[in-house]
Amino acid sequence: MPPIFQTSTYAQEAPNVNKGYDYARVGNPTRTALENLIAGLEGADECACFASGCAAMDAVLKMFRPGDQIIASNDLYGGTYRLFTKVFEPFGINFTFVDMTDIQEVKEAATDDAKLLWIETPTNPMLRVVDIELLTDFASSNDVLSLVDNTFASPYLQQPLELGADMVLHSTTKYLGGHSDIIGGAVATSNSDIMEQLRFQVKTSGAVPGPMDCYLTLRGIKTLSVRVQQSVDNAKKVAEFLDDHSAVERVIYPGLESHDQHDIAKKQMSDFGGMVSFSLKDDSMEKAQEFMSRTKIFTLAESLGGVESLISHPASMTHGSIPKEVRLKAGLKDSLIRLSVGIEDADDLIEDLDQAFE
């Protein structure tokens, strides 16, 4: 394991002559090890790590200027929507939200000021799968940058840069860290101009992860493949159980043939992920909350991608910052429940859900 360089500054040989590092906000050897590892996982030349996924998003958005248009999915993480509309929109950056599974909607939304396609796939929490290659082809042919938030899939299941994306973003809190014990973010790219701007943000805004967080993320990534594969195997069984349950109206899982973008997921992902969403036939917030309060193995909590299984209610938790009319338009119902399926025994997880229904 790389050492934890728990230092804020570094001895220099002479004024402005350092041995590779001068001040820990700008760089830290433990952080460099993590950045190199994530860059390698994503097939990128470089990576910049941040104190959180939101800090990583913030650094990307600071590359743009008033009047620029950013086109994003209408079904995306509530924190992303909040950052877009409450922080950067008042500064004059224009955000357009569309259904990115329909390329025609994206083309019609793009103006002469379009500068970035912000792609989530699978989306949070509706698990829509967006055709990365199709969208990035459109972006590059129109001199528009493209970013893919790869948090839900992880590099184990999907490599957006190989499909044409300019940059890939992660909340390393989730599958990369994998143990619900750190907060972090990362942006990987092979575009030197983008990386230069991100490094400037790292130095100037200073939203950097501490060395201990970097160390824990490095440790977590060592088991990425076995953790994600077990979560995927469990998620398939959980999705099939829910799909057959009389109290469930709809199960959303890219691995089910009933999923609208099942074929796209098959094409661009090596497997279908560990996230499952479902809605109840009794579509009420009260019924969903009653159900979630009964689970014993699935812990009621925000976040995802850890070794333990989590259950959450997007409408009131992770997506509570999205206005109800916007949420419903994107298909996010009051009774929608999101599962982050962990690595416990699949039979135990199914039994837990079964008793909660009963």
Query: Using one digit for the tens of pLDDT, what is the confidence trace for 2-38?
Result: 999 999 999 999 998 999 999 999 999 999 999 999 9
Structure confidence at residue 334 as a pLDDT band (50, 70, 90): confident
Tens of pLDDT, residues 260-288: 999 999 999 999 999 999 999 998 888 99
Reply yes or no on whether the pLDDT at 349 is more than 80.
yes
The beta-strand segments (E) located in 208-296 are 248-252, 275-280
Range in 172-186, 205-219, 222-236, 312-326 with the lowest mean pLDDT? 312-326
Tens of pLDDT, residues 167-211: 999 999 999 999 999 999 999 999 999 999 999 999 999 999 999
At a CB cut-off of 8 Å and minimum separation 6, what does 320 contact? 78
d(CA 216, CA 243) in angstroms, rounded, equals 37
Reply yes or no on whether the pLDDT at 329 is more than 90.
no
Structure confidence at residue 317 as a pLDDT band (50, 70, 90): confident
What's the mean per-residue pLDDT of the chain? 95
- Residue 40's pLDDT is what? 98
Reply yes or no on whether the pLDDT at 326 is more than 80.
no
At a CB cut-off of 8 Å and minimum separation 6, what does 314 contact? 78, 124, 125, 277, 332, 336, 338
DSSP codes, 298-357: SEE-S---SSS-EEE-TTTTTTTTS-HHHHHHTT--TT-EEEE--SS-HHHHHHHHHHHH
d(CA 52, CA 63) in angstroms, rounded, equals 18
Both tokens of 340, joined, read 């982050």
Instruction: Enumerate the active-site residues.
Output: 25, 77, 149, 174
Q: Give pTM, 2 decimals.
A: 0.95
- End-to-end CA separation in angstroms for the chain: 47
- Residue 116 CB neighbours (<10 A): 23
Is residue 120 within 8 Å of 78, Cβ to Cβ?
A: no
Is residue 229 within 8 Å of 343, Cβ to Cβ?
A: no
